[in-house]
Amino acid sequence: MDLAVINEWCQNNLWMLLLVNFVLTLEVLILFVVTHKRLERYRYLFKGNEDRDLESVLINLSEKSHQLNTNLSRLEEQVAGNQVREEMHLQNWALIRFKAFQNTGSDQSFALALLDAAGDGVVISSLFGRDESRVYCKPVEQGQSIYPLTDEEKEAITTALGKTNK
């Protein structure tokens, strides 16, 4: 083929050649960006393992993953145990002050309920009088006691249990 013919064809199709050149340049740029992103992922994967091959890196990652799963399982068991123990601690309380006797000055008597999450615990009552004071302690299981409860003790238990439900 003659060089003059090729030159003439190029001059006649200059815009088409520029368009093809632009498209190919754009494609090279896109491939560069994609390759760069993959190279960054590869570098991240081999970070700290530059002298190792892919197989040893994957084995190392598998071992670390297994170790993390073991640690996670152990932590989940500890959290579950802590939640069970947490429910057994005294965490709900209520204090009701009242005037036990007509001849005393102010609300010096009280009923104090100390309960755990299940409603188990104690209710402590103090009756303050002019000449003497008395203290009573009654066990509470699931919000109830085997001993007779005063209205103030019942109110203290109900208020303490109400704090749990909120």
pTM: 0.53
Of 29, 54, 85, which residue constitutes the final position of a domain?
85
The total number of structural domains that make up the chain: 2
Domain-located, residue 140? yes
Domain-located, residue 2? no
Residues 80 and 116 placed together within one structural domain of the fold = no
> What is the predicted pLDDT for the residue at 138?
96
Of 68, 85, 102, which residue constitutes the final position of a domain?
85
Residues 99 and 142 placed together within one structural domain of the fold = yes
Enumerate residues 6+ apart whose C-beta is below 8 A from 138: 122, 123, 125, 145, 147, 149, 153
Of 37, 55, 85, which residue constitutes the final position of a domain?
85
Domain-located, residue 121? yes
More confident residue, 69 or 6: 69
- Dump pLDDT digits (tens) for 31-88: 999 999 998 888 887 777 766 777 887 888 899 999 999 999 999 999 998 888 887 7
Domain-located, residue 4? no
Residues 96 and 68 placed together within one structural domain of the fold = no
Domain-located, residue 36? yes
**Ramachandran assignment for 116, one of left (phi > 0), alpha (psi -120 to 50 degrees), beta (any other):** beta
Q: What pairs with residue 122 in β-bridges?
A: 114, 139
Residues 70 and 105 placed together within one structural domain of the fold = no
> What is the predicted pLDDT for the residue at 77?
92
Per-residue pLDDT band at 166 (split at 50, 70, 90):
very low
pLDDT value at 139 more than 70:
yes
Radius of gyration of the chain (CA): 40
The residue segments making up the domain with residue 63 are 12-85
- Dump pLDDT digits (tens) for 89-130: 888 999 999 888 777 667 889 999 999 988 999 999 999 887
Enumerate residues 6+ apart whose C-beta is below 8 A from 134: 126, 127
Spatial contact of 83 and 95, defined as CB atoms under 8 Å apart: no
More confident residue, 166 or 23: 23
What's the token pair of residue 132? Answer: 């003497």
Quote helix, strand, coil % in the chain, to nearest 5: 55, 20, 25
> What is the predicted pLDDT for the residue at 11?
87
> What is the predicted pLDDT for the residue at 88?
77
Domain-located, residue 58? yes
Domain-located, residue 31? yes
> What is the predicted pLDDT for the residue at 118?
87
Residues 116 and 158 placed together within one structural domain of the fold = yes
